[in-house]
Amino acid sequence: MSTSASSTPTTLRSHSEPRLLEPGLERSDRIFHGLSTLTGAFVLLVTGGIGLFLGLQAIPTLRHYGLSFFTTVVWQPELDHIGIAAVLLGTLEVALVAMTLAFPLALMLALFISDYAPVKIKSYLVSAVDLMAAVPSIIYGLWGFFLLQPHAITLSRWLSQHFGWFPLFHVDTDPNAAVWQQSRYTSSVFIAGAAVSMMAIPLACAVMRAVFDQAPQGEREAAMALGGTRFGVVRTVVLPFARGGIIGGSMLALGRALGETAAVLIIISPAYEIKFRVLEAGTQTISALIAGNFGNATASQLSALMTAGFVLFLITLLVNTAAAVIIRRSRSGAGTDI
Amino acid sequence: MVSSPVQPRKIRSLTSDDWVSLVGAVIASFALVDLIYLHILNTSGALGFVVCWFASFMLLFAAVLSFVNPRHVIVDRLVTAALYVAALIVLGALASTVIYTFAQGWRALVHLNFYTHDMSGVSPTAPLNQGGILHAIVGTVIEVGIAIAIAVPVGVATAVYMSEVGGRFARWVRTVVEAMTALPEILAGLFVYVILIVYVGLPKTGFAVSVAMAVTMVPIIARAGEVALRVVPSGLREASSALGATHWSTVRKVVLPSAKAGLATATILAVARGIGETAVALITSGASSFMTINPIKNPMNSLPLFIFTADQTHEPLAIVRAFGAASVLLAMVLVLFILTRWLSRDKGARR
């Protein structure tokens, strides 16, 4: 890249020859194109290599355990008895709880910013959402564990007291005991999900808000002119226009929630069992499993962890690619402005 | 359906009628919930109180509005109220995160030695006037510095390749880069751990953290950078080409300088993401209690890792230190964030 443009002498061509429209590139340009293509290939190799590498590492584990790797509940490497059934379920549960909390809040905040907030504070709100996305996940972990948890467990108890008949809200303890067992309600899927939702909200909200802002102004004004209220405009113009963005943004946030590590690691207490009781203490996710076990893992255990990582990789890849496709499609219909 | 055919209904501003019914509903619902929830049912719990307050407010507000307004206006007002509350919840959660972190860390933050000492020879239970997090701050700065040195040239070059050179192969690169922006950080850490530490046999060091950080930062820089390069008006490129400039000098002297602010924003976004990556540091470096300057020799501590290990001790004073370190980390992110805003404002003014 040291060759600069000025050092290359301009070649004089004879007048009879027409200048080629696709001339051979200057030397500096050939170097430039070559180097940047090389960088692109390098990035492709490294980032794409992660998936390939995890996939290759998964082969010995899958050969050794076979399908039982997906059906075994416990993770006991010393007994050669490992599987991801419980951690996979835990990962999905944490992510789904996070999205249950994050989706309505993100949607409402995005609508508020795009259509309801006073114009003066709109840019500050956009900044606040961006800032929320930039706060490190470990800080949300501390927040969830120390600030949220003492309050959230009273809600957990209340839910299990009154809705304990519903399997999701059941907790294996006596909810009506005079001295209630607080430790049965702490470190649950619910609290981990609440902390993760703090990371999912800004991501989903940013995408949704961007799409809401793109909703054609002419159609908004038309709806207004027909006597619609503000919510009428939102319901008939903004939401239908932004359906792709809403789904895509939520899926993007779901992808983030699935892979979240630090906050989950701080909050949950590891438990390897198939259960849907989200308010009860103990769960495990793939990322927390990897973070907690890679240190004293033997070569074969490391391969098992990477197999679990590969499964996580495939899920997030699927979710994110689907999200990208949906968002792209929704934007392609944006040319309806008058 | 319109209330009065003569006067146009105001849609964006609240009338005094609206104000009175709004404030009245707020006060009435508070009094009602206070009476029923606290005195008749005799229950407690701030959360339950607020939820009941909100629910009864919505009911009372709807009831008051229904005296004069048609149904769609009531729905509009209720949705507006709900959106304000949702925004307050999210912003309140964000504010509580920031304020709580600083409030809990305050006891550590007021000690000067917290910034000038490391934790070597200091037990986690030692009082706060001993030891500090200098080693973690230095570690974070060094690790992020190396990660920037790797990720910015590679990321910007990739962005230039995708936006300026293009071609069929570039589409492949773009697809993979887009997919990788969402790569869970733990997988990047695991990848680098197995390649550099298990296979190559390097010790667990700050350098390994930097490499893993760079792996997660490159896609972010490349993707956001490509967006920044795309908004450079193509007229500038064409003018440069028409003046006889080569493609390389067009990129170097026209495109990159025009997109400077956008590229800086992309970089800072990636740094803000990388600086807080805990899982990566946990996997690829040990948490040392002493100062490490050399990134390729000894385990290097960093702020997220320090926070995590201090939290895992479950010692009250260690947790205060963890919050102190979290405050410093948050302050770093805030500074980077304000820098981003400032840069992007600059870009907006020029456009």
Task: For residue range A140-172, list pLDDT tens digits in order.
Answer: 999 999 999 888 888 888 888 888 888 888 887
d(CA A242, CA A150): 38
> Within an 8 Å CB–CB cutoff, is residue B59 touching chain A?
no
Average pLDDT over residues A188-194: 92
| Tens-place pLDDT, residues B84-139 | 999 999 999 999 999 999 999 998 888 888 888 888 777 777 788 888 888 889 88
Instruction: Say what the ipTM of the complex is.
Output: 0.85
Q: What confidence category does residue A20 fall into, taking pLDDT thresholds of 50, 70 and 90?
A: low
**Residue B329, pLDDT score:** 93
Q: What confidence category does residue A92 fall into, taking pLDDT thresholds of 50, 70 and 90?
A: very high
Q: What confidence category does residue B292 fall into, taking pLDDT thresholds of 50, 70 and 90?
A: confident
**Residue B5, pLDDT score:** 60
User: Has residue B37 got a pLDDT over 70?
Assistant: yes
Lowest mean pLDDT among A3-7, A201-205, B162-166: A3-7
Q: Which of A130, A256, A259 sits opposite B186 (nearest CB)?
A: A259
| Residue of chain B whose Cα is closest to the Cα of A2 | B248
**Residue A73, pLDDT score:** 84
Q: Sign of dihedral through CA atoms A26, A32, A37, A42?
A: positive
* DSSP structure class, residue A112: I
Q: Which residues of A touch B178 (CB under 8 A)?
A: 320, 324
Residues 6+ apart with CB under 8 A from B277: A136, B185, B189, B212, B213, B216, B304
Q: What confidence category does residue A107 fall into, taking pLDDT thresholds of 50, 70 and 90?
A: very high
Average pLDDT over residues A196-200: 93
Coil, strand or helix at B118: coil
> Within an 8 Å CB–CB cutoff, is residue B11 touching chain A?
yes
Q: Sign of dihedral through CA atoms A242, B12, A203, A251?
A: negative
Q: Residue A281: phi, psi to the nearest 5?
A: -60, 145
**Long-range pairs for B24-31 at CB < 8 Å and ≥24 separation?**
B24/B64, B25/B57, B25/B60, B25/B61, B25/B64, B26/B57, B28/B60, B29/B53, B29/B56, B29/B57, B29/B59, B29/B60, B29/B61, B30/B57
* DSSP structure class, residue A19: P
Nearest CA distance, B113 vs chain A (angstrom): 23
Lowest mean pLDDT among A275-289, B37-51, B253-267: B37-51
Q: What confidence category does residue B348 fall into, taking pLDDT thresholds of 50, 70 and 90?
A: very low
Q: What confidence category does residue A8 fall into, taking pLDDT thresholds of 50, 70 and 90?
A: very low
Lowest mean pLDDT among A185-189, B206-210, B337-341: B337-341
Q: Residue A188: phi, psi to the nearest 5?
A: -95, 170
Q: Which of B76, B165, B187 sits opposite A309 (nearest CB)?
A: B187
Nearest CA distance, B264 vs chain A (angstrom): 16
Higher pLDDT: A99 or A79? It is: A99
Considering only residues 235 to 264 of chain B, which have any Cβ-Cβ distance to chain A shorter than 8 Å? 244-249, 251
Q: Which residues of B touch A230 (CB under 8 A)?
A: 11-12, 76, 80
> Within an 8 Å CB–CB cutoff, is residue B180 touching chain A?
yes
d(CA A263, CA A145): 9
User: Has residue A130 got a pLDDT over 80?
Assistant: yes
* Helical pair B71-109 and B316-350, crossing angle rounded to 10 deg: 120
User: Has residue A200 got a pLDDT over 80?
Assistant: yes
CB contact under 8 A, B80 and A116: yes
Give Cα separations from B68 to A180, B3, B6, B13, B72 (angstroms): 49, 8, 16, 17, 12
| Tens-place pLDDT, residues A39-88 | 889 888 887 788 888 888 888 888 888 888 888 888 887 777 888 888 99
Q: What confidence category does residue B150 fall into, taking pLDDT thresholds of 50, 70 and 90?
A: very high
> Within an 8 Å CB–CB cutoff, is residue B82 touching chain A?
yes
**Residue A17, pLDDT score:** 65
* DSSP structure class, residue A14: -
**Residue B11, pLDDT score:** 53
User: Has residue A106 got a pLDDT over 90?
Assistant: yes
User: Has residue A24 got a pLDDT over 70?
Assistant: no
**Residue B351, pLDDT score:** 40
CATH superfamily of B134-350: MetI-like (1.10.3720.10)
CB contact under 8 A, B75 and A229: yes
Nearest C-alpha neighbor of A133 from the set B78, B90, B248: B90
Give Cα separations from B63 to A33, B60, B86, B101 (angstroms): 69, 5, 21, 41
The helix, strand and coil proportions of chain B, stated in percent and rounded to the nearest 5, come to 75, 0, 25
User: Has residue B1 got a pLDDT over 60?
Assistant: no
User: Has residue A113 got a pLDDT over 70?
Assistant: yes
Q: What confidence category does residue A252 fall into, taking pLDDT thresholds of 50, 70 and 90?
A: confident
Q: Which of B83, B215, B222 sits opposite A112 (nearest CB)?
A: B83
Which tokens go with B210?
A: 């930097």
Best residue in A261, A265, A289, A320 to probe B by mutation, most B CBs within 10 Å?
A261
The domain A85-301+313-332 having CATH identifier 3.30.420.40: the answer here is no
Q: Which residues of B touch A313 (CB under 8 A)?
A: 183-184, 187
**Residue B9, pLDDT score:** 57
User: Has residue A332 got a pLDDT over 60?
Assistant: no
Q: Which of B94, B245, B311 sits opposite A266 (nearest CB)?
A: B311
Q: Which of B93, B169, B182 sits opposite A316 (nearest CB)?
A: B182
Domain ranges, ordered by start, for chain B: 16-107, 134-350
**Residue B13, pLDDT score:** 64
d(CA A311, CA A102): 24
User: Has residue A272 got a pLDDT over 70?
Assistant: yes
Q: Which of A40, A136, A290 sits opposite B186 (nearest CB)?
A: A290
What share of chain B has pLDDT > 90, as a percent? 19
> Within an 8 Å CB–CB cutoff, is residue B275 touching chain A?
yes
Residues 6+ apart with CB under 8 A from B139: B206, B292, B300, B301, B302, B303, B305
Q: What confidence category does residue B3 fall into, taking pLDDT thresholds of 50, 70 and 90?
A: low
Mean pLDDT for all residues in chain A? 83
**Residue B88, pLDDT score:** 93
**Residue A328, pLDDT score:** 76
